[in-house]
Structure 1
């Protein structure tokens, strides 16, 4: 272990630590993930699998790993492979399943102490759970039970992060959370102000300078901490608060923090659109749900469902714009070439333009994993056909007011401007970054309709993972719902890598 030590708290499936671990120099990693802690057992299983992947020498991942993610062998068989066995213990020493703030502090501290192995200069990363800070989450909780909202312990899970800072004094910390953290209140005061003050003076004899990754120099507005991912080469409009904490003695040893602060800010990148990362994946049709419509899934029935949807759009009273109707007609005609609904593994030649190919693709996979479609009701397929055709022609996703009357959901107050989620059928536009991938993608696909009308479906797990910038060899454990949930909860690894480059530059400037 010769990389700079990293400890990851509230790690989820590992997006943030993946970005740090991806920085290499020759066959060595610039950062070494020593401990990553996650409470969810399924996300932890993903985390430990990726820890195993990183345990192998750079560029020398054994064939058994790829056999596992293709579904050819079990996890037990993977970990029993003679080439893999020497690395298994290390991966489980790194990825720990525990609930921070609940488990015994001494056990957590022993893991960190053993992981650091005496290192004095290291990096703490992670982000406390965001439900208490997110605008939707806190609106729901406060409305249902104001007293329970005020007593919700998740307001103060950052204090576990703070406790680790106080106990172990990292050189640098990177703390991520939702934008709603900036406006969340507790007991009548902004909780962000309290968090910022605590992080600046954690009570261990050290002070921390808390900077922004996007605004050089001193911060005058809390919004300066917000990173808009689409501005930095991420194919997703994801806006998150990310704090860059630097221990005062480290900061004082780096004059450029004052003289050339732009050196420690993210550089804007050309826009990366959804098509840039989705094109090249095997096209798929959706499955057809028979829960309500009584139609069993088959290619013929799926195409019949699309034809029925087209008939709805072709009726004069539907008043569908001609170019949208023509796009839908073309889509239904083209849909006949889509036979497959995908699977855990599809053997295929996967292509992508550089420089994205170097980040995403791994020829050892031999195709693509976790690229399997959901089942959709026929009525939703009709809506998806209209919505994706509309988006392709109008260059925007339709609101409910754009839908033909026959396709509107059976809800009250649909014409009321105060009705929430007027864009509840949201198409991901080809020529723009996607909207934010959140954990709600695990519930249904209505917010994540594929931009290609002829496929008439929501995004697969792999497509969502690509928009989140997970490399194709990153495998998510659990069932499909659990996989979606993990993807939506993660930090985009490519953004984390760009942040890691800044952290590395800072530490190198400090002579570490």
Structure 2
């Protein structure tokens, strides 16, 4: 197996994708030997998933894992299982809670050196470095928030890629895969284009050490590539999300003659409906909790019905009754479809017996009504509405509303059912305004599991920490299914002979998926009692 070192690992999106290649056939191509993450909650998620993978590759995942994610076992009870205890011990040797930076370079270097020494027969053997530096300093949203911050240009996040660069310089991986936000292409620091600086550094991390930086999506000579040629549009590759990210594939110069140039193949579109339309329907809950009840929620629904002018209950509405449960950490009201789309084959696990982390967050009453109204109107118009599309009675009571200078006019956004979603980002942990569920009858924002599905995390992937922390991890991750396609191409680059059955990422989304559907128009769910 080809060793992997994962920097800025987050909850493990890239890791999951690389680990999946050949795994189901018992012939994994890659093995992660060291992962580094500074957030303790993401580290906890990555540790648990690493233990899961260790168990899967050995005797199989024990039932205690499923009882734990179902909430039937506490962590001490779960960790006491001898199989789990052994896997966790191995995982702790691989997954490291550490902040990458100059202060910790010597210890991180020692960890990587020991991990590679135990995994390579010789230091000339192939290994791969993956990861992406934190992106807040490059993102358009981050730059907007700190537009007048004099310290912004000195933010250490601008330079965390140098920790990635240091590992390349020090250990010289055969291949590296570096991911970052599209905003990197327009970011500047002290008058220089950040992307040009990074590309120059990665091409020659030190005298005599050179890398060819390739695109995975544009078939042009390397010297003729433009910055935008490194952008991967996730929705073009079977990901149910319009996520555009810079992905750099670096090949060490002395390995070029034994590598192949490879490119991702476009896949059939996967929509929001395809990703989450089969999950149990649940209602939002009202904040504050003292005001929440099925009756109070139903009253809100009827208020929106009146604003929409739907009138009496229709015959069709009875087919879609109002959901009265808000879900929960584990929801048993879910059955895996008998006929599964290629996307679902990647996501689903029959052993789960339900769905985890499908619990609606609480919203203020006025926001719930806005969600319901906008989702209903979006189903009719087929477009994402803006703040100005709300009727007067649903407009936020802010002084600047209705003015030409009103900021954030798209602060409420419905995820259209028949399209890939907008980009899932960490801000989903703050509120759900930008992630309104397309089914108007549910009047809510997306759950953690729904966000995870849009990010293509398998349903048996469990996120640790509070719900806010879970959202944050999901939003910061690389979609594992996209990572798997990249990993398959890295294997092909290194001329690894993959059996056809081992190319799970390539096959799992190759065919056009069957379309799921909410009742159209989605208004009918509103008027069911």
Same fold by TM-score greater than 0.5: yes
Structure 2 partner of 1:427: 414
Return the offset for 1:326. 7.3
Distance in 1, matches of 2:154 and 2:302, equals 53
Does 2:287 align with 1:289? yes
- The answer on whether the counterparts of 2:322 and 2:442 sit within 8 Å (CA) in structure 1 is no
TM-score (norm 1): 0.91
Structure 1 partner of 2:142: 137
1:445 match: secondary structure: coil
- The answer on whether the counterparts of 1:332 and 1:454 sit within 8 Å (CA) in structure 2 is no
Distance 1:443 1:57, change over 3 A: closer
Distance in 2, matches of 1:204 and 1:95, equals 32
| Alignment root-mean-square deviation, CA | 2.1
Matches of residues 231-310 of structure 1 in structure 2 within 5 Å?
A: 231-254=236-259, 256-257=260-261, 264-290=262-288, 296-310=291-305
- The answer on whether the counterparts of 2:457 and 2:480 sit within 8 Å (CA) in structure 1 is yes
Matches of residues 321-332 of structure 1 in structure 2 within 5 Å?
A: 325=310
One of 120, 129, 153 as aligned partner of 1:150? 153
Distance 1:330 1:184, change over 3 A: farther
Distance in 2, matches of 1:485 and 1:449, equals 17
Distance in 2, matches of 1:416 and 1:152, equals 34
Shifted more, 49-58 versus 446-455: the winner is 49-58
Distance in 1, matches of 2:217 and 2:311, equals 44
1:282 match: secondary structure: coil
Distance in 2, matches of 1:76 and 1:43, equals 19
Return the offset for 1:117. 2.3
Return the offset for 1:350. 2.5
Structure 2 partner of 1:225: 230
Distance 1:103 1:60, change over 3 A: farther
Does 2:8 align with 1:23? no
Matches of residues 463-482 of structure 1 in structure 2 within 5 Å?
A: 463-482=450-469
Distance in 2, matches of 1:205 and 1:69, equals 50
1:7 match: secondary structure: strand
One of 483, 504, 509 as aligned partner of 1:496? 483
Matches of residues 333-482 of structure 1 in structure 2 within 5 Å?
A: 336-347=321-332, 348-351=334-337, 353-482=340-469
Q: Select the structure with the greater relative contact order (CA < 8 A; seq sep ≥ 6).
A: 2
- The answer on whether the counterparts of 1:306 and 1:332 sit within 8 Å (CA) in structure 2 is no
Unpaired runs of at least 5, structure 2: 499-529
- The answer on whether the counterparts of 1:21 and 1:31 sit within 8 Å (CA) in structure 2 is yes
Structure 2 partner of 1:202: 205
How many residue pairs align between the two structures?
487
Return the offset for 1:24. 1.3
Deviation per CA, 1:46-77: give whole Å up to 9, x if none.
Answer: 01001101111438111111111111112222
Distance in 2, matches of 1:289 and 1:507, equals 54
Return the offset for 1:186. 0.6
Structure 1 partner of 2:128: 123
Structure 1 partner of 2:508: none
Distance in 2, matches of 1:326 and 1:34, equals 62
Does 2:81 align with 1:63? no
Distance 1:383 1:340, change over 3 A: same
Distance in 1, matches of 2:311 and 2:166, equals 60
Deviation per CA, 1:139-161: give whole Å up to 9, x if none.
Answer: 22231x22x11211111000000
- The answer on whether the counterparts of 2:258 and 2:494 sit within 8 Å (CA) in structure 1 is no
Unpaired runs of at least 5, structure 1: 258-263, 315-324
- The answer on whether the counterparts of 1:214 and 1:266 sit within 8 Å (CA) in structure 2 is yes
- The answer on whether the counterparts of 1:37 and 1:95 sit within 8 Å (CA) in structure 2 is yes
Distance in 2, matches of 1:36 and 1:498, equals 20
Distance 1:301 1:331, change over 3 A: farther
Return the offset for 1:22. 0.8
Structure 2 partner of 1:261: none
1:12 match: secondary structure: coil
Distance in 2, matches of 1:486 and 1:397, equals 26
Distance in 2, matches of 1:413 and 1:240, equals 34
